[in-house]
Structure 1
């Protein structure tokens, strides 16, 4: 399984003869094992289904870009909070780190 760490796994499969969706439990179990091994506390699974050329990839790309921006904003906020705490320990006013 070590070679599969960064590969996508299909967890749903559409059965064309009946238009039903089947859950691939073996792949889902592999994902759960990877999550447990990584120590992650939160995971989101996003699935988009639709007919050909209806914007599924566009929607997922838009969501991925949004999440990257939010992650960068969170990292910046954490960096500023750390600088503020260091400034307070050094005896500077709380607003001082925001000057740089």
Structure 2
């Protein structure tokens, strides 16, 4: 079941979306981490690991890698990462 879902997510448009979101989040952290932290409420135990996980998941999906083992397919599920990255980016720019 997960293989079919991941196969449907491996479209170039969705992979490009993942890569753009991940590069944007990583770029904001690298460019000015203090400003980003101030805008998203600080890097704490909840949002810092979520941002790292979402950025890594976006990069993994964006370059076209598909995990084979079912557990990693759940851990690196792109739509959840999209949600986290979009929320963080909205918080950073609004």
TM-score computed with the length of structure 2 as normaliser: 0.29
TM-score computed with the length of structure 1 as normaliser: 0.28
Greater helix content: 2
Larger Rg: 1
Greater strand content: 1
